Structure 1
């Protein structure tokens, strides 16, 4: 009961601040898209569409209204649970996102898993001989991968593992045969297509995870419980895995929470590079076609996912460490 009374005001403050962030992100995106020259009608065939018909299209889409009025109309529709109609896909935006979002979550979730597992493995290898050759080499390689743009990493992996050494497919979620398959055959076709895009997402974050976890493990290895385990005959590797690692994982929650914006933005780029039919690719096509409702719906969902992940990380950290609630 005491925990609930302490956590509730703190949680309400976090919810309010996250809601403001989502609102500001959506407002800024709407302003940028609306103030950019051009609109959806510029993609109509001018040889078949007369200027009068083009103006009727602009009127039907509401593009002849002032930007503030269009924004208030969109915001009112969102409050009522209506994300609008996609001019590009000729479907409701909610229907498009319901189809593409699970594919993005699958790719992003696997990328995050690879990122965390890879970072933990690298950190545990580094901590065996701190400041040694392996430690410095691993830091250099992982930080270089962290600094590289996602699209460059993706293109490099495609070249190495799809063309130079043809181990995995270079693009799409399923092959033509996989589109027609069901059950285990469909899953067997999906998994190879997941490897390169998920690895592209995961490789970028390994350096950050490894760096923070390495610092935590360096502090933990000098604690009395680790020294006592070593005195009882426990090897350094076992002492790190069994005793130090569980206590060093707490800062990792914050690191993963902070990495979510980069994870989401990176996945959007990766989907374009690998022609992955997820929400990122749909937003990219919407931006090219000036499909404002779909672009705004995707932005709203992406911003909500990021702040929800950050909020979950904050809550988990606050439950474990009550000092952050003050």
Structure 2
């Protein structure tokens, strides 16, 4: 396992360098920059614009700009956000955890619900239950996030006023302790419901498909032929092997915990990192966008390594490769 970890870490270095070059080129070579945006918003002379570009090193050759940016990244300096007038690390740290709060709750709910519903659908293949689950799953997957979000707001926030319209806390709230906790939970409810409904469909199908594939294997038939109880056959023999392909999927959802849900956060006015990134795109806040994208790159690489390690724990054959 130690050798597997070392090998994966070494292999990730070229990937990280290549991704950093790609991220830098995508944003650097994009038409316009924040200086262009400033010139559109304010009446500046060309000399002043050139001075601002020189101040931020935008007049340097691309390779020098890249080496400077990469060197700053290695020291933890992601630059300064043009839109927020703060270090990029401060902006990300402020808003990312709000997105993480929603994402971790959605992750737990969707995996619990999808595992139960998907496994039961596989065990009752072609039954009324399986057909109903398939229909509901495809209906949930077909709804656009903005439509489902607005629909939830219409019924539960406007018509019946069960949940608040949006935000993270009530306007002007001075609540503390448990009162503040429940206030945040009420504001969390609708975004969590929407994201869970949108994400649960594909995961349910994964569970159903993997379980169907496993319960048709010879070793499952052998276990039944030995007279083992169906509960033991399913949960001890079949379920463990059905979960193996899902380990990778679970690990690869780690970057999504920090990336935010842009459309959902916008609809519910949730102060998450997805909404901040969307504003950064409109304002061409490239330091923020580049820093956040590189953070997701690192998280994705770490998630891949973690997936390999988790798979190695679950399947000893992987460790010896």
Q: Settle same-fold status: TM greater than 0.5.
A: yes
Secondary structure of the residue aligned to 2:90 is: helix
Pairing 1:267–2:245 present: no
Question: Quick one: structure 1 residues 289 and 173, their matched pair in 2 at CA, closer, same or farther if it must change by over 3 Å?
Answer: same
Give the match for residue 137 of structure 2. 142
Stretch moving more, 52-61 or 284-293: 52-61
Partners of 1:52 and 1:132 in 2: how far apart?
Answer: 74
Are the counterparts in 2 of residues 209 and 252 from structure 1 also a CA contact under 8 Å?
no
* TM-score of the pair, normalised by structure 1: 0.83
Partners of 1:169 and 1:319 in 2: how far apart?
Answer: 44
Partners of 2:225 and 2:165 in 1: how far apart?
Answer: 51
Equivalence map 1:117-266=2 (5 Å): 117-178=112-173, 180-219=174-213, 221=215, 223=220, 227=224, 240=234, 244-246=238-240, 248-260=242-254
Question: Quick one: structure 1 residues 265 and 137, their matched pair in 2 at CA, closer, same or farther if it must change by over 3 Å?
Answer: farther
Q: 1:107 Cα shift?
A: 1.6
Stretch moving more, 131-140 or 20-29: 20-29
Question: Quick one: structure 1 residues 118 and 89, their matched pair in 2 at CA, closer, same or farther if it must change by over 3 Å?
Answer: same
Q: 1:265 Cα shift?
A: 5.7
Residue deviations 1:164-209 (CA, integer Å, cap 9, x gap): 443323422222244x322212111111221222233322332232
Are the counterparts in 1 of residues 104 and 257 from structure 2 also a CA contact under 8 Å?
no
Give the match for residue 64 of structure 2. 69
Give the match for residue 29 of structure 2. 35
* TM-score of the pair, normalised by structure 2: 0.84
Match of 2:55 among 54, 60, 63: 60
Give the match for residue 3 of structure 1. none
Partners of 2:65 and 2:44 in 1: how far apart?
Answer: 25
Match of 1:87 among 82, 85, 91: 82
Stretch moving more, 22-31 or 220-229: 220-229
Residue deviations 1:247-272 (CA, integer Å, cap 9, x gap): 54333212323455667667244333
Partners of 2:298 and 2:194 in 1: how far apart?
Answer: 23
Partners of 1:31 and 1:313 in 2: how far apart?
Answer: 29
Pairing 1:78–2:84 present: no
Q: Which runs of 5+ in 1 are unaligned?
A: 1-6
Are the counterparts in 1 of residues 4 and 309 from structure 2 also a CA contact under 8 Å?
no
Residue deviations 1:88-145 (CA, integer Å, cap 9, x gap): 1111111111212222221211121122012112214313421122212312322343
Are the counterparts in 1 of residues 247 and 311 from structure 2 also a CA contact under 8 Å?
yes
Are the counterparts in 1 of residues 260 and 272 from structure 2 also a CA contact under 8 Å?
no
Question: Quick one: structure 1 residues 323 and 242, their matched pair in 2 at CA, closer, same or farther if it must change by over 3 Å?
Answer: closer
Partners of 1:146 and 1:308 in 2: how far apart?
Answer: 29
Partners of 1:123 and 1:182 in 2: how far apart?
Answer: 40
Q: Aligned residue pairs: how many? A: 316
Are the counterparts in 2 of residues 201 and 263 from structure 1 also a CA contact under 8 Å?
no
Partners of 1:141 and 1:118 in 2: how far apart?
Answer: 13
Q: Which runs of 5+ in 2 are unaligned?
A: none
Question: Quick one: structure 1 residues 118 and 19, their matched pair in 2 at CA, closer, same or farther if it must change by over 3 Å?
Answer: farther
Partners of 1:242 and 1:323 in 2: how far apart?
Answer: 19
Partners of 1:20 and 1:152 in 2: how far apart?
Answer: 41
